[in-house]
Structure 1
Amino acid sequence: MENRGLAYQHAPQRLDWVDVARGIGIIAVVVGHVWTRGPLRDAMYSFHMPLFFLLSGMLSRPHPVGAFTRRQLVSQMRPYAIFLALLILADQVIEPAKGNLPIFHQWPRDLLPILLGGYWLRGPYTIFWFVPCLMLARILFNLALNWWPDPLDRRWALLMIPVLLLAYGIGYVTPASPLGLLSVPMAMILLWVGALWPRLHWRNLWLVPLALLALAGLAGWLPTLNMKAGDYGWPLLSIGSGIATSLLIFRLSARIVSVAASLATIGRASLLIMYLHVAIIHYGTPYADKLWLLGFALLTPCLLWNWIDLSPRLRRWIV
């Protein structure tokens, strides 16, 4: 447990431990969507979304603003549009086969909620807020990184104070969130904390307060998070609990990386799992119990990812 903060950035197994952490995080996301109420769901919601934003912040570096913005728009919104279109088409077949109307069946009026995304996408599309939210937050964060490359620069803290107030303020006023943009201010906070963390030297005495704060969220002693709706529980404490849990998972991931190949595999397929798992759960719920749904929602996208990975062109388009 010696000073290993920067070792996260430079260790040869960095990408492996990141994949392990992503694997743990995406399993938590799927669990939270299989068990939709109760203490297990609340425990997963207490940290699963902050974990991904923190990881993205940890891996962030300043890039030329124009090129980075264009790359983000293409690489993130292209698969977003592809998977959203495929799921909408699938729903046009699956629901009528079951004797139901498709979720979107009033054309062309339904084009508006589809284009708005975020708050207006429910059911099998509910997770589609995350990618555009992360994309815009990363674009804005990269812009600020070009001004102040060191997250320890005190100007970052001065910037984050109004951003934090904005995050809580707009989340309190409305849950409406086109393309998930309601959550961008809090995502910016998490990206900054993620970028800051590797620059801090680990101290063993941090373990107890981090563990206690994490436990408060996992055990339900604090209101849980719903980042999509801009609901961050008790100010600072609930999001702080999610951060603490995620940081502990990062340290655990670095320690178990040599024996966690299966978690790393799940982590590498996390984007496909993110897009597809809710639809698998949504359509499979009447026919399978929760453990089977959990397995299908993880395994099916992993198998698809392995197939896509065989084709560089397909991978470039989809993942």
Structure 2
Amino acid sequence: MENRGHEAHPPGGGRLEWIDVARGIGIVAVVVGHVWTRGGLRDAMYSFHMPLFFLLSGILSRPQSVARFAPRQLASQIRPYAAFLILLVVADQIIETMKGGRPIFHDWPHDLLPILLGGSWLRGPFTIFWFVPCLMMARMFFNIGLARWPDPLDRRWAWAILPCLAAAYAVGKFTSLSPLGALAVPMALVLLWTGAAWQRVAWRRWMVAPLALLSLAGLMGLMPTLNMKAADYGWPLLSMGSAVATSLLLFRLSARIAPLAGWAAAVGRASLVIMYLHVAVIHYLSPYFSKPWLLAQALLIPLAAYYLIRSVPAARRIFL
């Protein structure tokens, strides 16, 4: 059980409990990083939390028909993205007006353009909305490569991944504008490939030591942390390498604790709804709760929303 990577990282397809556990751990890290907005705890979460989700998606990636995959991605991801965005825009109009404040989007119809552009144009309760369209675009590009080179360890992948890596570190130097999170797509592609390639690597016990050292360097703040939305990846290769190391170790842990971590799996299954809603909960409730209570609300309210949405067929078709 110790010498094969695929046993710790099962192939994609179906409902894999360890994947849900890893998603659950990842989304808790995301929420913690948004509740504690400065300090060591925030930096530790930012050192790995978003790369973890891209790596997981890469692990689950399999070559698919390009003609079918892209339309299916657009249909399945844009609908809930738009639905949650509209929901929060309407909620912000109501909540801020009731508080006697001014909604974030208040200059109509001019505000329609930044809403449609998304990414770096969205802030406050909408700040996380860069992630899903970025992941969607990266997955579509990555599938084009997989359809051509199904083995991620094929040496020809270097011709695609090395330019992506160079572009990932370059684009953030020239612009901060990121329509629909496109600024992070080059690094997202690198992470998708890394996750897919990791599936083909046999696990060895000696890997724990170098991965743990690299992980701790990021978690302890010994190197600059990450801000994927702004294409800020800290020290070239090292900061992202630390994120990958932490994520891979968490995947090993998730595979081991999956039978006993039903709560984490439940949170993982609701991770997309939590991703969309938790920043809004933090944004509106932060004046009224201490940080530990705010963390609990930012997890429990979206989790309750997920189960409510899942129980109503019409809402499930729109939001999930």
Q: TM class, shorter-chain normalised? A: over 0.9
The 3 A distance-change label for structure 1 pair 265 and 169 is same
In structure 2, how many angstroms separate the alpha carbons of the residues matched to 1:43 and 1:172?
Answer: 24
Superposition CA RMSD, Å = 1.4
- Shift of the 298–228 alpha-carbon distance from structure 1 to 2, 3 Å rule, reads same
CA distance in 1, matches of 2:261, 2:150: 33
The residue identity in structure 1 corresponding to 2:4 is R
The residue identity in structure 1 corresponding to 2:90 is L
Match in the other structure for 2:2:
2
The correspondence of residues 1-319 of structure 1 with structure 2, limited to 5 A, is 2-7=2-7, 8-10=9-11, 15-319=16-320
Percent identical among aligned pairs is 66
Question: Which letter maps to 2:63?
Answer: P
Compute the displacement of 1:14 (Å): 6.7
Which whole-Å CA distance do the structure 2 matches of 1:278 and 1:249 have between them?
24
SS at match of 2:189: helix
C-alpha deviation, 1:172, in angstroms: 1.6
Q: Specify whether residues 271 and 315 from structure 1 end up closer, same or farther in structure 2 by C-alpha distance, changes over 3 A only.
A: same
Residue 90 (structure 1) shift: 0.5
How far did 1:313 drift? 4.4
* Cα-to-partner distance string for 1:258-281 (whole Å, 9 max, x where unaligned): 110000000000000000000000
**Structure 2-normalised TM-score?**
0.97
How far does the alpha carbon of each residue in 1:175-195 deviate from its partner, in whole angstroms, 9 at most, with x for none?
211110000000000000000
Separation in structure 1 between the aligned mates of residue 92 and residue 72 of structure 2, nearest angstrom: 30
CA distance in 2, matches of 1:291, 1:282: 15
Relative to structure 1, the CA distance from residue 88 to residue 13 in structure 2 (aligned partners, 3 Å threshold; closer, same or farther) is: closer
Q: TM-score, normalised by structure 1?
A: 0.97
Q: CA deviation at 1:110?
A: 0.7
Give distance in 2, aligned partners of 1:142 and 1:314: 29
Per the TM alignment, residue 10 of structure 1 is displaced from its structure 2 partner at its CA by: 4.8
Q: Which runs of 5+ in 2 are unaligned?
A: none
* Paired amino acid for 2:154: D
Distance 1:144 1:226 in 2: 26
1:160 Cα offset (Å): 0.7
- Secondary structure class of the residue paired with 2:80: helix
Letter in 2 for 1:211: A
Residue 308 of structure 1 deviates from its aligned partner by 2.1
Deviations 1:182-228 (A, max 9, x none): 00000000000000111100011111000000000000001000000
Residue 307 of structure 1 deviates from its aligned partner by 2.1
How many residues get paired? 319
Q: Secondary structure at the match of 1:77?
A: helix
Distance in 1 (alpha carbons) for counterparts of 2:59 and 2:136: 15
SS at match of 1:6: helix
Cα drift, residue 74 of structure 1: 1.0
What is the rounded CA distance, in whole Å, between the counterparts of 2:286 and 2:43 in structure 1? 20
Q: Is the 8 A contact 2:18 2:255 kept in 1?
A: yes
4+ residue runs over 4 A deviation: 10-14
What SS is found at the alignment partner of 2:5? Answer: coil
- SS of 2:63's equivalent in the other structure is coil
CA deviation profile, 1:135-178 (whole Å, cap 9, x unmatched):
00000000100000000100112321111000100012112111
- C-alpha change, 1:154 and 1:102, in structure 2 (3 Å) is same
Give the letter for the 2:41 counterpart: L
The answer to whether the 8 A contact 2:52-2:244 is kept is: yes
- With over 3 angstroms needed to count, the CA separation of the structure-2 counterparts of 1:11 and 1:185, relative to structure 1, is closer
Letter in 2 for 1:20: V
Deviations 1:109-128 (CA, angstroms, capped at 9, x unpaired): 11111111100100000000
Counterpart secondary structure, 1:183 = helix
CA drift at 1:96: 1.2
Contact 2:11-2:60 at 8 Å conserved across structures = no
